[in-house]
C-alpha cells in the first residue's frame, strides 16, 4: 500500500511539473520599440541597431532564420523583407499554445489574409516531428505556415513558446510579447497596423 501511495504521489508531481512547464504565464507588458535612427539591413545576427526610441529601448535587428515548413519548402526571414512578419513561437504539444493558436488565427492571420504585406508564421520551438507539427495544425485549425525545428530561432530571439514577435518591413523587432500569445494578440495587431503604414 505504501508503494502505491508513493507511485500516486510521483504521478501527481510529474503532472504538476508538466502543467507548470507549459503554462506561459502572464507577464505584465510586452516590449514595443520605435523607429531606429540608424540603419543596418535589420536581418543580421540580432545586434542592436538604431538609437534611443524614447522609452529607453532600442530597435533590435531580427536574427535571420531559414526553416522548413510542412511541405518541405524553406522559409527565410530575410526573404520576407518588405513585409511585416508576425512570429508565433509554439510547442507542438503544449496545451497553452494550442489554446492560443485560434486567437493568433482570428486576430492576425484572418485579419490580414488579403494583405500580401503581412505574413504570419508559426515556429515549433519544441522541434517536433513533421507529424507532430501537422497534428498541432489539425487540432488548432490554423492555416498559416508552420515551421519545423525552430528551437535555435527561439533562442536567437531570446523568447519562449506561446509568444508573439512582430518584425517590421525593414527587419527590426517592433513587438516582443511577454504573455500568452492570446493575451498579446491585440497589441501585436496594433503594432502590425503601425508598421504596415510606415
Residues 6+ apart with CB under 8 A from 61: 40, 41, 42, 43, 44, 45, 46, 47, 48, 49, 171, 172, 173
Q: What is the pLDDT of residues 23-41, one digit of tens each?
A: 444 444 455 544 443 333 3
87 with 165: CB under 8 angstroms? yes
Q: What is the pLDDT of residue 5?
A: 52
Predicted pLDDT at 168: 97
| Grid coordinates of 138 | 489539425
* 96-141 tens-digit pLDDT: 999 999 999 999 999 999 999 999 999 999 999 999 999 999 999 9
Of 15-19, 58-62, 139-143, 172-176, give the lowest mean pLDDT range: 15-19
CA atoms within 13 A on the CB side of 118: 24
Q: According to the model, what pLDDT value does residue 198 have?
A: 81
Angle CA(72)–CA(77)–CA(99) in degrees, nearest 5? Answer: 75
Report how far apart, in Å, the C-alpha atoms of 44 and of each of 37, 47, 65, 77, 170 are. 17, 7, 10, 10, 11
Are the C-beta atoms of residues 46 and 171 closer than 8 Å to each other? no
Using the predicted structure, report yes or no on whether residue 42 has a pLDDT greater than 70: no
The model carries a pTM of 0.76
d(CA 181, CA 162): 5
Helix and strand numbers, DSSP H then E, in the chain = 5, 10
71-100 mean pLDDT: 98
pLDDT in tens, 48-68: 333 323 233 468 999 999 999
CATH superfamily for domain 2-196: Glutaredoxin (3.40.30.10)
Looking at every residue in the chain, the average pLDDT score rounds to 81
Amino acid at each position: 500500500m505504501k508503494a502505491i501511495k508513493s507511485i500516486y504521489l510521483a504521478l501527481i508531481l510529474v503532472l504538476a511539473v508538466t502543467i507548470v512547464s507549459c503554462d506561459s504565464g502572464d507577464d505584465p507588458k510586452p516590449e514595443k520599440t520605435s523607429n531606429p535612427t540608424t540603419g543596418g539591413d535589420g536581418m543580421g545576427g540580432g545586434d542592436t541597431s538604431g538609437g534611443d526610441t524614447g522609452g529607453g529601448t532600442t530597435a533590435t535587428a531580427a536574427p535571420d532564420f531559414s526553416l522548413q515548413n510542412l511541405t518541405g519548402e524553406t522559409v527565410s526571414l530575410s526573404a520576407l523583407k518588405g513585409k511585416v512578419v508576425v512570429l508565433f513561437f509554439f510547442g507542438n504539444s503544449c496545451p497553452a499554445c494550442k489554446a492560443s493558436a485560434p486567437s493568433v488565427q482570428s486576430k492576425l492571420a484572418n485579419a490580414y489574409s488579403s494583405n500580401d504585406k503581412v505574413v504570419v508564421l508559426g515556429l515549433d520551438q519544441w522541434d517536433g516531428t513533421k507529424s507532430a507539427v501537422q497534428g498541432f495544425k489539425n487540432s488548432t485549425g490554423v492555416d498559416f505556415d508552420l515551421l519545423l525545428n525552430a528551437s535555435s530561432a527561439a533562442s536567437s530571439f531570446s523568447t519562449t513558446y506561446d509568444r508573439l514577435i512582430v518584425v517590421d518591413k525593414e527587419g527590426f523587432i517592433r513587438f516582443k510579447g511577454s504573455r500568452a500569445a492570446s493575451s498579446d494578440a491585440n497589441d501585436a495587431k496594433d503594432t502590425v497596423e503601425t508598421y504596415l503604414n510606415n
